[in-house]
Amino acid sequence: MDPGNSAPFAIGMLGLLLGMRHATDPDHVIAVTAILTRERRFGTAARIGVVWGLGHTLTVLAVGTAIIVFKLAIPVRLGLAMEFAVALVLILLGLNAFGAMLHQVSALLFTRRRALAEGPIIHSHVHLGGPSHRLSQGHWHLGDFSRGTVGGASRPQSDHEHALPCAVSQSGTPRPLLRSFGVGLVHGLAGSAAIALVVLSAIPNPLWATLYLVIFCTGTIIGMALITTAIGAPMIAAERRVSSLHQRLVVGSGLLSFAFGLFLAYRIGVVDRLFGVVPIWVPH
């Protein structure tokens, strides 16, 4: 492709659109969703997308420009290792929700075993229908987590008390933005080689290829900002109106991130033989 004989505007628009489409890759969307579920403000959702895009842009431009300008070759095992880092990040993002789920399951099993071990509890009830009399009844108390009962003791719980432990962090701190930036860095590192090689094959001129890479990254930032806003809006609305639904979304997105991370780790480590003798890497 000769940029002098083509329409630069068309090339720029293509890079912008491809960058926005790149933001919709499954691992990108799952990662930012796991971060977004902890937020309670609409403005933060868009900022998380922009910050993720900036982190992604930093590594893509750094590594991609080096590949384009200096014609660097990425070793197969190094390329796989960079993609494996994405799997580890997804697992870490979902680890909190996975641990919370295990905590509740173990608590439920322990409570039921404890209730069964204590045996039936005898209650005396006064029946007022007809002649007044008192009737003793024996029954099992297995615990009701919706009302916080354990072995017969009951107290109502609010939605926030009933939430899975450690599933949600408070917003209002820079931690989500820093987390988003770090995740963007890792994702950019994993995809930089493939992106640069595709650009270089289409635009051999290093200057134009680098300019195209900048436009591509700009499209990625815009696309991710739109995606995080679209995902964050219903989640924040659910948190404000139906707290229990929001808790399920938090745990569900975390478990999805954890499971997808495990899948990627298996595919890269075992199928693509990152830890094998002859690794297989096809940049994509």
**Residue 149 falls inside a structural domain:** no
The pLDDT value recorded for residue 149 is 44
Residue-range definition of the domain harbouring residue 112: 7-120+174-271
E strand or H helix that includes residue 166: none
Which pLDDT score is estimated for 160?
Answer: 40
159: tokens are 């939605």
Model pLDDT, residue 236: 78
Indicate whether 22 belongs to any domain: yes
Asked if the structure places residue 87 within a domain, the reply is yes
Q: What is the pLDDT of residue 235?
A: 80
* Domain count for the chain: 1
Determine the pLDDT at residue 204. Answer: 84
Which pTM value belongs to this model? 0.75
| Residue closest to 2 by CA, chosen among 209, 197, 172 | 209
Is 40 exposed, middle or buried, given 0-12, 13-18 or 19+ CB atoms closer than 10 A?
A: middle
Give the DSSP per-residue string, 181-246.
HHHHHHHHHHHHHHHHHHHHHH---HHHHHHHHHHHHHHHHHHHHHHHHHHHHHHHHHHHH-HHHH
Q: Is residue 130 part of a domain?
A: no
Q: Please give the Cα distance from 48 to 232 (Å, whole number).
A: 10
| pLDDT of amino acid 171 | 41
CB 228 within 8 A of CB 180: no
On whether residue 195 sits in a domain, the answer given is: yes
- What is the pLDDT, as a whole number, of residue 168? 39
**Domain contains 59:** yes
144 within some domain: no
Determine, yes or no, domain membership for 75. yes
* pLDDT tens over the chain, length 284 residues: 454 555 677 878 888 999 999 999 999 999 999 888 777 777 888 899 999 999 999 999 999 999 888 888 889 999 999 999 999 999 999 998 888 888 888 888 877 666 666 655 555 555 555 555 555 555 544 444 444 444 444 444 444 444 443 333 444 446 888 999 999 999 999 988 888 888 888 888 888 889 999 999 999 999 999 999 998 888 877 777 777 777 888 889 999 999 999 999 999 999 999 999 999 988 76
